[in-house]
Each structure stands twice: as structure tokens, then as C-alpha cells.
Amino acid sequence: MVDADQTFVIVGGGLAGAKAAETLRAEGFSGRVILICDERDHPYERPPLSKGYLLGKEERDTVFVHEPAWYAQNDVELHLGQTVDRIDRAAKTVRFGDDGTLVHYDKLLLATGAEPRRLDIPGTDLAGVHHLRRLAHAERLKGVLAALGRDNGHLVIAGAGWIGLEVAAAARTYGAEVTVIDHGPTPLHGVLGPELGNVFAQLHQEHGVRFHFGVQLTEIVGQDGMVLAARTDDGEEHPAHDVLAAIGAAPRIGLAEAAGLEIADRAYGGGIVADERLRTSDPDIFVAGDVASFPHALFDTRLRVEHWANALNGGPAAARSMLGQDVTYDRMPYFFTDQYDLGMEYSGWAPPGSYDEVVIRGDAGKREFIAFWLKEGRVLAGMNVNVWDVTEDIQKLVRSAEPVNTEALADPKTPLDSLLP
């Protein structure tokens, strides 16, 4: 039986929002739980959109966080295809954008996620220009890749980040011709730096992907509404039947910003500022997932993390915080990828400029290794490539914040747990 004395509203129907609703019920909250999702699909997980589902290895139903019946069974009021266009912090209401309905909240969770950055060049209105963020995008792109593979078509991908590379791998698996264009010197340069970016460049080149580094797209050329080619600022023209814009994502902060909530500086990834409890500058409003900017004591900085594990863990943490529990959100940043026969997990935080040494344990040439990023002998992050069951030890090394013997760290014969203080 729902107790209507308290109402908790969640804006954002992704993994973070759905797991927050689940946690509220699991923790015994008996008030109203209202979950507002601007998509018409039930809350789903995003990794399959560029991995298993896009490749046709996973069925559509496997992406959903819960069975559709779960929401009614757990008295979660799910509003699909609804947008929220205003928060009134004084009245403690949110307003639906479609019909102006006002919904009162006692506690509010913003899990509004991120949206793909757009190419600001001529030709982006052509039919063959794509983004990949939502299930509908993946459904469309899946058909496009299959057709390109069948017809020996060309896909140009703007951006050599995780989404760009995963789609490149999927496209080549379907048989499409692929060119990846990026302004950096290597793939994933902003995440892995030059030392490890080349591992992914070689992987994709072996599978027939062409890279064009150090340039940017300037125009997508078309005829009769269809894509014909993509031009770069060095004067090159690349044949294309379709173009994927994979140049990153921006946190969806508009609603929070209009409500006067504190927004993080772009140097810290932007996002909605939260404390270690995932509470915003308004004590009755909380935040989780891609849009959350939270302090991480271990790395002595504010982080905004756009990965599945952050949504998976951040939603429940925010829910417990809404319930008044003592919460400190300090989960280790973690993400994974699958490309061709390469599987990888990354734990920690080590952007270029934050480390002074990279230690390789294993054989990078065979793509069976662990890479460690260190600062003054301390492990900041670790990436295991086709080496499994080591994530826990890697995360313990990062959390220890103690210098390690780098020769032992590089030696596969030395157990990782023996390096822990």
C-alpha cells in the first residue's frame, strides 16, 4: 500500500533513474515514486546499443532494466514519453512540458543523462547522418550497417572515442567500409593517451578500418537529400553513404540550470554540482548518472563519469541519500568495451597530464596485457585487455594510493595482490 504523505519524483528514465526507483522500494520507502522518462521505451541500459544489440547478438528485450510489468507491481508511476520543462523549487513542483501538469515532490532526483554533441557543419540535415544515444538510434543504425555491408557501402565516423570505435567494429563485422576521422593523434587520446591509443589503432587497421587523424570534418556533401562524401579541413574528400557523429556527449543540465542549481565548470566536465551524498545545492534535489558532478576524495577532484557503472551504482546511492541514509558516493570509475576479439576493462582515473609513467604487464603486441598509469609510483588507473578476473586487485591498487615496485608491477609472474600494502 502506497503512503501518499511523501512523493519522490525521478526525472530521467535511464539506468540511473530506474535503479533509483528500484532501490527506494527495496529500502522500504512506502510513499509515491514517480519516474518520468522522455522516451516512449521503458528504461533500458545503453551499452548494448553499441555492442551486442547493434551487432545482432542480443535481442531487443534484453536491454531493458526491468520487465514492463515491474513498475506497476512495485507501485512505480511510470510516465513514458513525457518531458519536464520546469522545476519550481519554492513550490517543490515539476511541470510536464506537454500539458503543463504540475507534480509535487518532497524529494527530487535528476537523472537526465547526456545528449550527443552535434556536428556544426553543412550537411548534417541529410538523411544519412546519424547519432547513437537512444534505442531508436541503435535500431536505425543496425539496419544501416546491415545494408552498408550488403552493398559494400561506406561509413564515415567522426570521432575515435569509445562509441566511434565500437560502431566501427560493428560496421566492419557487417562488412561495411569504414573511415574514422578524428582531430587527435590516436584513437581515445583523451582517455588513454598516446601510449595505449595505438593499440586500438592497430586493432582496427588490422580489420580494415581507415583512420584520418589530426583533422576535422568541415562538410557533409549530399545530393537529393542523401550523403555522398565527407570533407575534412585538409582538403580531403572521403566517400560516404552514411556518417556517424560520435564526438562525445554533453550533460543535460538545462532543467537544473533554469532552476538555479549550481553547475560545474567545464574544466570538471560540466554537469550538476553535487556533494559526496549526491545532493545538489538544493537539499531536496539529488542527482545521479551522466549528469552528476561529484567530489572524489581519492582523486582529489570533481568527476563527471559517463559510463554504465556510474549509472548502475549512482542511482541506488542517490536513492539512499534521498531516504536520509549516510551515503558517501566514491565508487571507482569503471568501464568496459568489446571490439572484435578484444575485451577490455578500465578502472580508475588518469587523463593525459595526470600521470608520469605507463607500465605494461604482459604482451601489448598480442593484446593480452594490463596497462597501469602511475604518478610518482602510485597507480592511478589500470586497464586489463584480454586478461580477466583482475579488476578487484587493480581497484585495490588504485585505492591504496601507495607507491608500488614498478618492476614487480610489470612482471606477470608477480601476483597483483602481493603488491598491495
pLDDT value for 332: 94
**Amino acid 78: pLDDT:** 98
CA distance 364 to 379: 19
Mean pLDDT, residues 178-187 taken together: 96
* Listed residue (308, 252, 344, 292) closest to 48, CA to CA: 308
Average pLDDT over residues 88-109: 96
Q: 23: closest CA among 36, 6, 10, 12? A: 10
pLDDT digits (tens, 9 = 90+) for 258-294: 999 999 998 888 999 999 999 999 999 999 999 999 9
- Residues whose CB is less than 8 angstroms from the CB of residue 202 and which lie 6 or more positions away in sequence, other chains included: none
Q: How many CB atoms lie within 10 A of CB 131?
A: 20
Which amino acid is it at 298? L
Whether 349 and 380 have beta carbons less than 8 Å apart is answered as yes
Mean pLDDT, the chain, rounded, equals: 96
All CATH 3.30.390.30 domain ranges of the chain, comma separated, are 341-419
* Domain 129-247 CATH assignment equals 3.50.50.60: yes
Question: Is the confidence at residue 324, as pLDDT, over 80?
Answer: yes
Measured CA angle at 220 (ends 217, 223), to 5 deg = 165
Q: Quote the crossing angle between the two packed helices 15-26 and 308-322, to the nearest 10°.
A: 40
Q: Three cell numbers at 314?
A: 549512482
The per-residue pLDDT for 1 is: 56
Q: What angle do CA 284, 282, 278 make, to 5 degrees?
A: 75
| % pLDDT > 90, the chain | 95
Rounded distance between C-alpha atoms, residue 309 and residue 346, angstroms: 11
Residue 3: is its pLDDT beyond 80? no
Residue 405 pLDDT grade (very low, low, confident, very high; cuts 50, 70, 90): very high
Q: pLDDT digit string (tens) for 116-161?
A: 999 999 999 999 999 999 999 999 999 999 999 999 999 999 999 9
Q: What pLDDT sits at residue 98?
A: 87
CA distance 171 to 141: 10
Mean pLDDT calculated for residue range 169-185? 97
Confirm or reject CATH 3.30.390.30 for domain 341-419, answering yes or no: yes
pLDDT at 290: 97
Edge-to-edge strands of the sheet including 7-11?
76-80, 32-37, 7-11, 107-110, 285-287
* DSSP character at residue 214: S
Q: Which residue has the cell 548494448?
A: 48
The CATH architecture one would assign to domain 7-115+250-322 is 3-Layer(bba) Sandwich (3.50)
Buried b (16+ CB within 10 A) or exposed e, 373-412: bbeeeebbbbbbbebeebbebbbbbbeeeeebeeeebeee
The mean pLDDT of 113-118, rounded to a whole number, is: 96
Question: 1-15, 105-119, 246-260, 377-391: lowest mean pLDDT where?
Answer: 1-15
pTM equals 0.95
Positive/negative CA dihedral, 211, 56, 368, 400 = positive
pLDDT by residue (tens digit) across 22-73? 999 999 999 999 999 999 999 999 999 999 999 999 999 999 999 999 999 9
Report the distance separating Cα 354 and Cα 306, nearest Å.
19
Where do the CATH 3.50.50.60 domains begin and end in the chain? 7-115+250-322, 129-247
For range 306-315, the mean pLDDT:
96
